[in-house]
Chains A and B, each alone.
Chain A
């Protein structure tokens, strides 16, 4: 099953490499990875999506917790949560395809954020399924480049991940 694990990480050099190294060292898989600072300058928030059965996910969370740089961790998929990703896609936009890209972007509530005579750059946010669906829809029109941020997420309701 797919899991979204989000953690607060000491904002120290080397912390990120410890987390990533753990995944490769123990043969755990990383699908997406997203890291950025938080409101607390001493902490970054790191979110990974990974795949595995219950046992593997349990091992992943235990090993992550064992890292001294990991301050707090939550498996968002254990409860109701919001998942978002941002994607920028350059799509060929010439001739009839130009309208088709625009229409598809509208359907997905994506925005065209840059334009040249031959290319549209589309920005889209949503969960991973939406990204995949959009890509599928525009692939026949000619996708030139894709940049995805990887998943970020947060629990619904009053629950917070903080120290």
Chain B
């Protein structure tokens, strides 16, 4: 019943790992060919694979794990998806109903464990409920503000001896769940009023624009009114970065011009963003002159951290199109923005060419230049996946995204180990595309067992290991806040990555100098169906800049080791 439902729901791949409580389900999967199961090497990887696929496709990723340790291993991946509002359905085996509550072998109350990190969860109580419960799970996971849904399935619910009539439920009805789509027309009118009369407006677009497939509407609105566009990290690609109106992303390590522009703006049009603390810095000093218009499908996101002057609950696409509509009918002119653009361009000029110093001959490579080089060889249209740390920030700063769904990174939870499996989930579903993972030797070692999965299923991702032989981001904080006392932030006894990768039967190239970089990249990216691991040794002393000063306003930044705003 479960396997048939997955097929009818259009699920092509599920990611998982078997165990006692899930064996009936595995047997059902074995006896069909429509839904393909990818066997990972750790359940956390299954959730990240599903997550990567969901971020790239907008569709829910599906995970299957067994009870107890199988389910608890999935917890980090569920939390990762929850923090970034990623649609996911996690099917967990459970001990048989009559054993629940008895501390039976491999029993964990996974619904209880995951309660604060799921959008919703279900326990199957009768086998005949499976299709409707699963339909609800998929619907809840992927509608409104998406998120992970856990379905707990006691073993006796999937017993093959019992037979029930199966009908695929085309529709679901939930009396207490009706995500809004259309925004309030009056509120939208107020918002348009504010935008048209603003002298220093900015758009601040987030992941909601990507999940809500509203990039086109956003771009149209930005062009129509000549507005500067800042996207959050989650929103990278929601507005093309090669557009002159793009200012990049703001926040702790955001671009100088975006932090300056947002801080000095008189109107922030937030679309599908949650104004999180990594963006706002000290909220009490956030955008002192700005009125805030905030569009979000989730009412609880609005005025959570930053008070909105004009809240609009609705789907981004719908609301933005309604704005365009209303603007089209207006006769009054918009405030001219020439002066504002002059100011912004002056900020841009201030930092142009000063972002980092490329390595001189004989010096270790700078991670930034590696990202720029990868951007060049992939023509800026790869799927770019990252782990967490300095390399993640460098990838976000120096790879430029012109399309949505191409930047794949754990933003809210910042999960080291996310990268490799997420990249695999994407490559599997988009085999003709380049999928590049930027990782660090720290993060990579958290999920490197998945190379074995790559081998089994032939998943040729490109891995760029920005190897600084240290937990770089931690080290940076220790340099800045702890007088360079590097407590456990460096990695002694790193493996010989070349040998390690070769042990799995893949190609590895070690790069130490600028001269070696270009040829190695050429070789690595020549084909799309070979896994290549680039172990690129980069300068361990490099810091990520700009960096906002703790407790300051958005515009308070360190710009390099010696400069400060």
Contacts and interface: CB of A to CB of B under 8 A. Distances in A.
Given A14-B123, A66-B298, A71-B175, 19 more contacts: A14-B111, A17-B112, A21-B115, A25-B116, A55-B303, A55-B307, A59-B304, A62-B300, A62-B302, A63-B300, A65-B299, A66-B299, A66-B300, A68-B119, A68-B120, A68-B174, A69-B176, A70-B176, A71-B176
23 contacts: A14-B111, A14-B115, A14-B121, A17-B112, A17-B115, A18-B115, A21-B115, A21-B116, A59-B300, A59-B304, A62-B299, A63-B300, A66-B299, A66-B300, A68-B140, A68-B174, A68-B177, A69-B176, A70-B176, A71-B175, A71-B176, A72-B176, A163-B175
Interface residues on B, range: 20 to 34
Interface of B: 111-112, 115-116, 119-121, 123, 140, 174-177, 298-300, 302-304, 307
A28 to B, nearest CB: 12
A54 to B, nearest CB: 10
Contacts of A66: 298-300
A58 interface: yes
Interface of A: 10, 13-14, 17-18, 21, 25, 55, 58-59, 62-63, 65-66, 68-72, 163
5 closest Cβ pairs, A-B complex = A62-B300, A71-B176, A68-B120, A25-B116, A62-B299
Contacts of B120: 68
A88 B524 CA distance: 77
A10 B121 contact: no
A21 B272 CA distance: 26
Given A17-B115, A18-B115, A68-B140, A10 B307 contact: no
Contacts of B304: 59
A71 B307 CA distance: 27
Nearest to B149: A68
A69 B140 CA distance: 12
Contacts of B307: 55
Given A18-B115, A55-B303, A59-B300, A13 B174 contact: no
A58 B305 CA distance: 12
A162 to B, nearest CB: 12
Contacts of A21: 115-116
Contacts of A163: 175
A11 to B, nearest CB: 12
Given A62-B300, A63-B300, A68-B176, A13 B115 contact: no
A163 B174 CA distance: 13
